[in-house]
Amino acid sequence: MARITTINPATEEKIETYALMSESEAIDRVDKCHAAFLQWRKLSHKERGAYLTRIAQTLRDNAGELAALMTRETGKLLKDGHTEVEICAAIFDYTAAHGPDALADEERVHGPGKKRGVVSYQPLGVIYSIQPWNFPLYQPVRVLAANLMTGNGCVLKHASICTGSGLRLRELCIEAGLPEDLFQVILIDHDTSDTLIAHPKVRGVTLTGSDGAGRHVGAVAARALKKTVLELGSNDAYLVLEDADIETAVKFSVIGRLYNNGETCVSAKRFIVTEKVYDAFVDAFVARMKDIKLGDPTDEDTQLGPLSSQDQFDTVKEQVEQSVAKGATILCGGQAPERKGAYYPATVLADLAPGMPAYDDEIFGPVASIIRASDDEDAMRLANESRYGLGGGIFCRDEEHALKLARDHFDTGMIRINSFGAADPNMPFGGVKDSGYGREHGGFGMKEFANAKAIFLP
């Protein structure tokens, strides 16, 4: 029988071993979720919201345990784990508070006689959620909260390295009163996953992962005529324009590159710096990155923990080495310490060009790419050259100028001006181009897997 073993990336110690489910076991979970959905859909939005509010409180009540578990499984800083739990609780609270209005029937008129029409947002059924390891709680929660409010059931296939976090989330939801079969967590291989996508009781599929994974899942779902929402990572550009405040730019660039050990889809990854401020920014940025304390993720003063696994360490190391072999310059870091664990230092690369991983691809780790631009217009052009378009940022003293660039020219889904942040329950989350399609948060996620039903009255 195939098994999953989770490993602490900081200590290399085994945490737990789990047996994979057979195809029939996984299908049984889908069937049970569908049966629970048939009852759940009968509840009002307000009644569903009460369950979400209780889940939020249960997460807060177990924040210490959840943060410690996520740190053991993925190496994220313990303090970041506490932040993640609170974000998840806030998402449940936001959805409970705003869901009833967002999903309420809409009165419209139709026809020459302006007859009465109603748009009703009805649930679809079982939503299959395929999620990555970098935010073991947040990734499944942002799908779960929205779809529970819509009236759907949810089946989660989590990344294997954070299996314990996915299972514990389900336990806590049930502890908070959620019907036991409405939220399922399944442990399966990729072939079984493809089978589930095509299962008639799975009505929608959402994935967060690489663009390669998105192409595969999107194609399998398309063959089965299933709607998908895909969030596929990025190579987010942060522009340091000619009138940027360097202190602000450096502060948020360091935070933006290293948050969650650099393993965030909306991390600041490419720093496109105009010629006028290039030297000032790079000197200050490199100095800050050199001072970052790499260490035990459970220590309060640690600023950068290990990567999530040895496989992830090997991937980041290879991407840096390939970039250097093609002409990139290491300004700091780039050399892993001699110690146990998947530790990789804060690294800055310069002299980058197309064809290098550090220029073209997403590096999911604490590696910053510095790209020189001649002026503001050139910086915007370079930012938009990427095949990705999830997030991005602009450092510029003239906020109205930055707003115009963000609104009218930046070809990406989310833009931060003179700041950095990962997600907010009240703002849409998602991207364009190879970063995928669909939106979560801000009320948008509640309608992604809803049947917008048009009802015409005489």
Identify whether the C-beta of residue 235 lies closer than 8 Å to the C-beta of residue 166. no
CA 155, CA 30: separation in Å to the nearest integer? Answer: 7
DSSP 316-365: HHHHHHHHHHTT-EEEE--S--SSSSS----EEEES--TTSHHHHS---S
Would the CA dihedral through 382, 384, 390, 393 be positive or negative?
positive
Q: Which residues contact 293 (CB under 8 A, 6 or more apart)?
A: 301, 302, 303, 304
Judge whether 265 counts as a catalytic residue: yes
CA 278, CA 331: separation in Å to the nearest integer? Answer: 14
Q: Which helix (H) or strand (E) holds 206?
A: strand 202-208
Q: Which residues contact 218 (CB under 8 A, 6 or more apart)?
A: 207, 228, 230
For the chain, give the number of residues. Answer: 458
CA 438, CA 247: separation in Å to the nearest integer? Answer: 35
**Nearest by Cα to 320 from 366, 278, 281, 354:** 366
DSSP 415-440: -EES---S--TTS-B--SGGGEE--B
Of the candidates 88, 162, 265, 332, the residue annotated as catalytic is 265
Structure tokens at 147: 């779809």
Of the candidates 73, 88, 154, 231, the residue annotated as catalytic is 231
Identify whether the C-beta of residue 358 lies closer than 8 Å to the C-beta of residue 364. no
Neighbours of 221 (CB within 10 A): 22
Q: Could you list the active site residues?
A: 231, 265
